[in-house]
A and B are shown apart, each in its own frame.
Chain A
Amino acid sequence: MDFPEELKYTEDHEWVLLDADLVTIGITDFAQDQLGDVVFVELPEVGARVEAGKAFGVVESTKAVSDIYAPLDGEIVEVNTDLPDAPETVNTSPYEDGWMIRIRPDGPVDLDKLMDAADYQDFLEED
């Protein structure tokens, strides 16, 4: 399983990438592996607000329905519109083509409370 060093990770198995002043969010390789074949992805519209700790979307496999949580407050500036028609992309490319939303955070971003790749792998082993 792959956990890129440049990403931060949440306990809900999302990954977060800070790039300039925008934050991109998706689900981790572990999450897609646990779900199995992803068959449906539901994402909000551009302009919608997300709130830290609140679900902003849903990803479904044959076996399970899973909420996707926002790690911080902000406004959605871009949505991966390819996903609803090709949900399997979440399995094949969770960190690149399978990204979900891009948000403009409300204030200065402090990603230190999130896990880095090594911490996340430790977290998975503890679980």
Chain B
Amino acid sequence: MQHSGDYQLLNRSLEFAQLALQGPKAAAILAPLTSADLASLQTYHFCESDVAGLSMIISRTGYTGEDGFELYCAPEDAEPLWQALMDQGAPLGLTPIGLGARDTLRLEKAYALYGHELSDKILPLEARLGWITKLEKPDFCGRAALLKAKSGGLNRQLIGLRLTQPGVPRERYVVRAEGHDVGYVTSGTMSPSLRQGIALVLVEKGLALSAASFSIVIRGREVAAEKVQLPFV
């Protein structure tokens, strides 16, 4: 716990459980269960309300690239909330998914995930996150390092590759441009929507930006890939 002036920082993580209700029918499933006015709850906004008679935070957020809600409730309310959502949503096709499925969705949308596209070894400016890196703010942890890196010119960039041959790119696989090693895969998968291998790759600038041909090395074999606009889907 840290005190600073009139503020107190508390870690209340253990007081909350979270379920994410995601997909184009999320609002239709949630609306009958809550007194909140979902139509006026915009993306990235939240409200304190109730679902199935349980009090919780309803946040119109998620990491799937679809409309949806993240519901924050007391840990003991998670099970009745789950049951209420499944009962309400089953006729509309609601089904549980795990993090493996969620990962394909966020990757198709090229959303960065910590430990993959982001780490203490990768700058947010390299990871296509300049839009939320507010260097004009007075100071924050890492600002000096970011300014220095920016003035010196960034060496690496995160780009998207799509395999043009069968295969599944996976994290840490080597990326080649015109035969030269230029970087590695930060996240890769077989895109269920495209039915092709897709990968976010962190590459050295230079050849990787001008190259006409790319490949990803899968079990010692070069599999052809092409640079594509992000998001993938």
Contacts and interface: CB of A to CB of B under 8 A. Distances in A.
Interface of A: 36, 39-40, 42, 58, 60, 62-63, 65, 84
B168 A40 contact: yes
Given A62-B189, A62-B190, A40 B167 contact: yes
Given A58-B219, A65-B168, A65-B170, A40 B190 contact: yes
A62 B168 CA distance: 8
12 contacts: A39-B190, A40-B166, A40-B167, A40-B168, A40-B190, A42-B219, A58-B219, A60-B168, A62-B104, A62-B189, A62-B190, A65-B170
Main secondary structure of the interface of B (DSSP, over half): loop
B100 interface: yes
9 shortest A-B CB distances, which residue pairs? A39-B190, A63-B100, A60-B168, A40-B168, A62-B190, A62-B189, A62-B100, A62-B104, A84-B166
Given A58-B219, A62-B189, A39 B100 contact: no
Contacts, number: 22
B197 to A, nearest CB: 8
Interface of B: 100-101, 104, 166-168, 170, 189-190, 192, 219
A29 B170 CA distance: 25
Contacts of A65: 168, 170
Contacts of A84: 166
A86 to B, nearest CB: 11
Output the residue of B104, B168, B219 with the most chain A CB within 10 A.
B168
Contacts of A63: 100
A109 to B, nearest CB: 30
A38 B111 CA distance: 24
A42 to B, nearest CB: 8
Contacts of B100: 36, 62-63
A36 B100 CA distance: 10
A63 B167 CA distance: 14
Contacts of A36: 100
Nearest to A40: B168
B194 to A, nearest CB: 12
A60 B168 CA distance: 8
A36 B103 CA distance: 15
Contacts of B101: 62
Contacts of A62: 100-101, 104, 168, 189-190, 192
Contacts of A58: 219
A36 B166 CA distance: 18
A36 B167 CA distance: 17
A36 B168 CA distance: 15
B55 to A, nearest CB: 36
A1 B192 CA distance: 25
A67 to B, nearest CB: 10
Contacts of B170: 65
A36 B189 CA distance: 14
A48 B100 CA distance: 35
B216 to A, nearest CB: 13
A40 B188 CA distance: 14
